[in-house]
Amino acid sequence: MILRQLIHTQRGLTLPELLMALVTSGILLGAMVSSFISQQKTYAMQEQASEMTLSARAALDMIIRDIRTTGYGVPTSGLEQWIDWVYDGEGTLIQFTEPIHIMQQENEADTLMLVGCFDAPIARLQADADVGDDRLYLRYDRRTTAFNPTQRKIFYLGRNENGIVTDTPSQSRRRSSIGIDTDPETPGNQGVDWHYSGGEDILELLKVVTYAIKIDHVNYEAPTPILTRDENMGGGAQPVAEHVEDLRITRNGDTLTVALTVRTATPAPHYTHPAVGDGYRRLTLTSAVDPRGVQL
């Protein structure tokens, strides 16, 4: 009897109470989801900002390293007579008068071109070379590619004098015989001016490195600015860093100042850039560099 009375006297939730509970739960759940989404967006923007900073620093460090090496192993005079394979964007041969060449256009990023021996030696003499010899016998390093008379052509021999590769008639995988000319301003092929020892003296490859910003319209959802580095050896421009908008080079005496501006990958919500007017956050890093041994 008592149990039956308890069953008949218990009350359940009324419909208004149930609706109120559901509404309250929905509000709490919506607040939690909104907070989670907000935190995710904040985290994503912080991650983009971190990636932007790291990318800018890595790119700037690479440019600084190349600038510091610029001028090493470069002919001391008549540089325009030595370099005859590097052209600008309009197909005009660039006349180099010094190891650093800056191309500036109004309202566009600068293009920086550097001349020097930037890498480890490409080869070592296999046999002695006497004064007047216009052919060298080489043993290549395993990590390098052989010279050729078109782009991989100017060398620095024994850290002493320069020469141009005129022909490569015989070569194996790691050994090669190359014809050379140490004075391109004089008709004919001129030989070396000094004696060099086989197995000891090294050959280093002179390169022209170009830093420029290109817009990628293919690999991204929106046109994206990419900082590229081109060694002008036939391999084309290689990407260095994404979302790099601007590169500015200024001179003050022998010092070069490099300013690199990079942006986030996507616009930030509820943000407007004060100068550009879009939603991208930007960072500009600046560094002053003295090229070693180069008088500008």
90 with 233, same domain: the answer is: yes
270 falls within a domain: yes
Q: Which residues contact 249 (CB under 8 A, 6 or more apart)?
A: 102, 104, 110, 112, 256, 257, 258, 259
135 with 282, same domain: the answer is: no
20 falls within a domain: no
CA distance 274 to 28: 37
37 falls within a domain: no
* Residue numbers of the domain that contains 165: 123-205
38 falls within a domain: no
**How do residues 16-58 score in pLDDT, each as one tens digit?**
766 776 777 777 767 666 665 656 655 555 666 678 888 889 9
pLDDT attached to residue 154: 96
1 falls within a domain: no
How many domains does one find in the chain? 2
CA distance 292 to 71: 7
Q: Which one of 205, 228, 254 terminates a domain?
A: 205
Q: Which one of 205, 224, 252 terminates a domain?
A: 205
**How do residues 123-143 score in pLDDT, each as one tens digit?**
999 999 999 999 999 998 877
CA distance 252 to 274: 30
160 with 234, same domain: the answer is: no
39 falls within a domain: no
pLDDT attached to residue 68: 93
Strand order through the sheet with 111-116: 100-103, 111-116, 207-216, 224-230, 238-242
13 falls within a domain: no
* Low-confidence stretches of the chain (pLDDT beneath 70): 1-13, 15, 17-18, 21, 29, 31-49, 170-173, 293-296
